Amino acid sequence: MTNLSNAAKSSWLVLDGQTPGSASITNAASEVLPRNPQRRGLILTNRSATEIFIAIGETAQASKGIVLGLNGSLVMNADFLSTEAISIVTASGASTVTYQEFH
């Protein structure tokens, strides 16, 4: 087992998680997560074979923005983070996403 110095430990970012959630996504855009100035991290995963399209800070549109296929994940951390609302839509059909937000 490796012991870390106090200097290394003090540089860690400790995050508290909110209760994990899930949402059903259809071809009508929905705001899955509202704007959250306290957000410091997010993991969002598409659990269905239907592709989803994600927009940050605006309403999602089919075939535009960040696309996730089956088991595709969006990870936000210190390198890529937005506190804006997260909107998701499918081009057709339905999908389920699961997520965990950290603050």
Domain-located, residue 67: yes
DSSP 27: S
pLDDT surpassing 50 at residue 36 = yes
The CATH number assigned to the domain holding 80 equals 2.60.120.770
Residues 52-68 have pLDDT tens digits of 999 999 999 999 999 99
User: Can you give the residue range of the structural domain that contains 70?
Assistant: 17-102
Mean pLDDT value of segment 18-25:
92
80 near 44, Cβ under 8 Å? Answer: no
Domain-located, residue 58: yes
60 near 25, Cβ under 8 Å? Answer: no
Domain-located, residue 11: no
Mean pLDDT value of segment 34-57:
96
How would you write 38-101 as a 3-class SS string?
CCCEEEEEECCCCCEEEEECCCCCCCCCEEECCCCEEEEECCECCCCCEEEECCCCCEEEEEEE
Domain-located, residue 83: yes
Per-residue confidence band for 78, with pLDDT thresholds at 50, 70 and 90: confident
Domain-located, residue 69: yes
Domain-located, residue 76: yes
Domain-located, residue 10: no
Specify the pLDDT at position 7. Answer: 47
The domain total for the chain is 1
Domain-located, residue 24: yes
88 vs 91: CA distance, rounded Å: 10
List the structure tokens of 84. Answer: 């804006």
Mean pLDDT value of segment 67-95:
95
